[in-house]
Amino acid sequence: MTKNLLYYGDNLDVLREYIKDETIDLVYLDPPFKSNRDYNLISPEQTGSRSAARIKAFKDTWRWDRAAEAAHQEVVESGPGRVSQVMQGFRTFLGESDIMAYLAMMAPRLIELLRVLKSSGSIYLHCDPTASHYLKMLMDAVFGPQRFLNEIVWCYRQGGRSNRFFGRKHDTILWYSKGDKWVFNPDADSVRIKYHGTGGYQTSGKGVTHRRSGKTYRPDARGKVAEDWWDIPALPPMSKQRLGYPTQKPEALIERIIEAGSNEGDTILDPFCGCGTTIAVAQKLNRLWVGIDNTHLAVALMKHRLKDTFGENASYKVIGEPVSLSDAEGLAEKDKHQFRWWALGLVGASPVEQKKETDKGIDGRLYFNDEGKGGKTKQVIFSVKAGQTGAGDIRKLRNVIEREKAEIGVYICLQKPIQSKTTEAINAGFYKSPLRKEPFPRLQVLTIKDLLGGKQIDCPAYGQAKVTPLKTIGAGCNGYGRIRKLSLHSEVI
Ligand SMILES: C[S@@+](CC[C@H](N)C(=O)[O-])C[C@H]1O[C@@H](n2cnc3c(N)ncnc32)[C@H](O)[C@@H]1O
């Protein structure tokens, strides 16, 4: 039985409804930092000849509104005394500002995270200098100042520079324990730093020599325990790890946190999961995990990532996604974007934002290579329809397949199209792959009911060729405050 859980939903609701007291060993959270920008997912055109297609992944814009007022009021009236006091102090100082709205979002979530942690558990809160000073006070109020363990400075070099001030090249990770005992594994590989003969030291066969004093000593072959500043590169634009998700963190960073702060078999929680770096690393390091995100885009990406990295070895349950046709209809009615992402997630496709003329009629893509190493990258294009399938919809997709020279096109719809439209699909012909004797239908129509029933698209990518769901092209660093203009709000998209 699996204990790994992936939740779609607002983390405050999920924490309150599903996560029991004292069940989590380690929390890592990388919430929006209050950067005032929108974050885009980048999905490349595989030919490389066109600019990257962008899709809004989540917002980081905050406004003082009724929801913020209500969240603030709830913490002030029903939160623990110290938290109530600090929030009232913030309110006096900050007024009804954007940053106050951000803190009103964070406070109740931190209170819940304290509740779900075991007494031996600890929490790593990832933020940056935009709000780290306020968050540290809030963490002192929630966990107690005596529970503060480290303010870790994560240094990196990637990203833009400034001529008006010193380059802002670090994030802050606040580490607090719940009780007076916590896990710290100083011997873990990722926690150790090898001597490289840099700085004030020189290495030789005799050992390490301090340049100024000339004193030589034999260093620990395992290296030294890392200090509270970490020199770990942010993901370079062309990194293999990159999934195109903005603010994706490098696995090496999360590896150090998980190896240092937990043991095999422990349960790791990431309530702002994004494209799932924490859960993928937890899985790799034999920990159990719980991930939460409130976009179907992130949940779809995490499913990709787990499948791509661990195949069938990652077993987990997804909670909060539509499981019936009526759930799906409800989602389609509520939010067409989320519906589209969810539907594309069912078939493992990456979403495309139809910003350019050339993206017209395409909601998602999937790339495959069925010719082996050095072979041509081929594509499946997707069109997702939340409402009624109109007379021209399937014909349109057929035209787009021709225009894009796509090998296969898939039409996903809520309602089964009438017979004349499926005839259109039959007339579109077939794609002949070197991997299979029988050709693949060039235009396929799948209903949500089919997909929920386990039917999949008929394409060489499934189990026969490597799928590339998303990959980043273009510049990018770890995220906040540096690439594109962004904003922040408690609801996403
Ligand atoms: C900075 S990203 C996390 C990136 C992640 N560390 C990674 O490596 O991919 C923050 C994520 O939190 C999600 N998010 C924002 N507010 C949320 C909420 N209230 N509940 C759940 N998820 C939320 C966003 O959708 C976004 O994916």
Select from 18, 37, 124, 273 the residue to mutate for testing ligand 1; criterion: most ligand atoms less than 8 Å from CB.
273
Between 421 and 112, where is the model more confident? Answer: 112
Select from 293, 304, 309, 337 the residue to mutate for testing ligand 1; criterion: most ligand atoms less than 8 Å from CB.
293
173 lines ligand 1 (CB under 6 A): no
Closest atom, ligand 1, to C-alpha of 479: 1
272 lines ligand 1 (CB under 6 A): yes
10 lines ligand 1 (CB under 6 A): yes
Residue with tokens 């010719």: 371
Select from 58, 290, 482 the residue to mutate for testing ligand 1; criterion: most ligand atoms less than 8 Å from CB.
58
Confidence of residue 415 (pLDDT cuts 50, 70, 90): confident
pLDDT in the model for residue 160 = 75
Tell me which of 118-127, 227-236, 257-266, 408-417 is least confident. Answer: 408-417
35 lines ligand 1 (CB under 6 A): no
171 lines ligand 1 (CB under 6 A): no
pLDDT in the model for residue 109 = 98
pLDDT in the model for residue 483 = 20
- Residue 465: pLDDT above 60? no
- Residue 12: pLDDT above 90? yes
Confidence of residue 387 (pLDDT cuts 50, 70, 90): confident
Between 301 and 54, where is the model more confident? Answer: 301
108 lines ligand 1 (CB under 6 A): no
478 lines ligand 1 (CB under 6 A): no
The average pLDDT across 141-170 equals 94
Select from 294, 302, 472, 490 the residue to mutate for testing ligand 1; criterion: most ligand atoms less than 8 Å from CB.
294
- Residue 43: pLDDT above 70? no
CATH number (3.40.720, 3.40.50, 1.10.3470, 3.40.1350) of 349-468 reads 3.40.1350
Where do the CATH 3.40.50.150 domains begin and end in the chain?
5-47+55-187+231-319
pLDDT in the model for residue 482 = 22
257 lines ligand 1 (CB under 6 A): no
Specify the residue with its C-alpha closest to ligand 1, atom 13.
272
The average pLDDT across 201-211 equals 72
The average pLDDT across 478-486 equals 22
Where do the CATH 3.40.1350 domains begin and end in the chain?
349-468
Can you tell me the distance from the alpha carbon of 409 to that of 397, in angstroms, rounded to the nearest whole number?
7
Confidence of residue 419 (pLDDT cuts 50, 70, 90): low
Looking at residue 357, the DSSP 8-state letter turns out to be G
| Interval 427-447: pLDDT, tens | 789 999 998 899 999 999 999
Specify the residue with its C-alpha closest to ligand 1, atom 22.
293
Ligand 1 centroid – CA 373 distance (Å): 35
- Residue 137: pLDDT above 60? yes
Ligand 1 centroid – CA 370 distance (Å): 34
Question: Identity (one letter) of the amino acid at 74?
Answer: E
Between 49 and 402, where is the model more confident? Answer: 402
Ligand 1 centroid – CA 11 distance (Å): 9
Ligand 1 centroid – CA 392 distance (Å): 38
Tokens of 64: 């003082």
Ligand 1 centroid – CA 333 distance (Å): 24
pLDDT in the model for residue 464 = 39
Specify the residue with its C-alpha closest to ligand 1, atom 4.
274
Q: Which of the residue ranges 97-111, 150-164, 339-353, 404-418 has the most confident prediction, judged by mean pLDDT?
A: 97-111
112 lines ligand 1 (CB under 6 A): no
Ligand 1 centroid – CA 265 distance (Å): 25
- Residue 166: pLDDT above 50? yes
Confidence of residue 325 (pLDDT cuts 50, 70, 90): very high
| Interval 356-369: pLDDT, tens | 555 678 988 888 88
Confidence of residue 92 (pLDDT cuts 50, 70, 90): very high
Q: What is the 3-state secondary structure (H, E, C) of the chain?
A: CCCCEEEECCHHHHHHHHCCCCCEEEEEECCCCCCCEEEEEEECCCCCCCCCEEEEEEECCCCCCHHHHHHHHHHHHHCCHHHHHHHHHHHHHHCCCHHHHHHHHHHHHHHHHHHHEEEEEEEEEEECCCCHHHHHHHHHHHHCHHHEEEEEEEECCCCCCCCCCCCCCEEEEEEEECCCCCCCCCCCHHHEECCCCCCCEEEECCEEEECCCCCEECCCCCCEECCCEEECCCCCCCCCCCCCCCCCCCHHHHHHHHHHHCCCCCEEEECCCCCCHHHHHHHHCCCEEEEEECCHHHHHHHHHHHHHHHHHHCCCEEECCCCCHHHHHHHHHHCHHHHHHHHHHHHCCEECCCCCHHHCCCCEEEEECCCCCCCCCEEEEEEEECCCCCCCHHHHHHHHHHHHCCCEEEEEECCCCCHHHHHHHHHCCEECCCCCCCCEECEEEEEHHHHHCCCCCCCCCCCCCCEECCCCCCCCCCCCCCCCCEECCCCCC
What CATH superfamily is the domain 5-47+55-187+231-319?
Answer: Vaccinia Virus protein VP39 (3.40.50.150)
Q: What region does 307 belong to: left with phi over 0, alpha with psi -120 to 50, or beta? A: alpha
298 lines ligand 1 (CB under 6 A): yes
Specify the residue with its C-alpha closest to ligand 1, atom 2.
274
- Residue 44: pLDDT above 70? no
The average pLDDT across 211-229 equals 84
Ligand 1 centroid – CA 276 distance (Å): 9
pLDDT in the model for residue 161 = 83
Give percent above pLDDT 90 in the chain: 58
Angle value at C-alpha 280, between 276 and 284, nearest 5 degrees = 170
Ligand 1 centroid – CA 400 distance (Å): 34
pLDDT in the model for residue 304 = 78
294 lines ligand 1 (CB under 6 A): yes
Tell me the pTM: 0.83
Calculate helix-pair angle for 296-310, 277-284, nearest 10 degrees: 30
- Residue 474: pLDDT above 90? no
267 lines ligand 1 (CB under 6 A): no
The average pLDDT across 386-415 equals 89
- Residue 209: pLDDT above 80? no
Closest atom, ligand 1, to C-alpha of 31: 10
